[in-house]
Amino acid sequence: MSPVPELDLASRIREAALLEGDFVLSSGKRSSFYVDKYRFSTEPALLRAIAAAIAERLPRDVTRLAGVELGAVPLVVATALHTGLPYVISRKAAKEYGGSAGKAIEGEFESGESVALIEDVVTTGTQAVAAARKLVEAGARVAGIVAVLDRREVRDASLEEFGFEALLTIEDVRVETGN
């Protein structure tokens, strides 16, 4: 599949998922717009395009992918299918029942394995950093974090320590709305 130009991807995400109104973000702040990740991650053609774009941004030495539950799961699955790389899922809280009770990471990987964490929309970076740290604690080497959309207002070094990059910024997605 050929690379997806960033402007085309921004336009497609804007059309599918940019909502205008009054919203409360995961950070607790209010915003006049919201990007509904489920609207872009549940549409097969757009999900395929996003997975292809993520695959192009993966560090070369990655041997496994990881995604944070729940929002990044469709993205990591689609990217795994596109690249052939296996994946794990980082839970926000350890499972307390069944055969994987106490596990914060679902799926298997080798200690020292090079993992790329895939995220959907990064508002503060807190969840991505927490997931990356869980992977490190479990023995993985986080080679990078690739997000679909960076909507952070404040940049800090915690994400960058894990090699963070995003396919798009919120400015890319909002450019045609005039806001």
Domain ranges of the chain: 6-177
pLDDT value at residue 3: 45
- Residues 114-159 pLDDT 10s: 999 999 999 889 999 999 999 999 999 999 999 999 998 888 788 9
pLDDT value at residue 19: 95
82 beta partners:
none
170 beta partners:
none
- Give the pLDDT mean for 168-173: 93
pLDDT value at residue 6: 65
Whether the predicted pLDDT of 178 surpasses 60: no
Q: Which fold has domain 6-177?
A: Rossmann fold (3.40.50)
Yes or no: say if 57 and 167 are a contact pair by the CB < 8 Å rule.
yes
pLDDT value at residue 1: 42
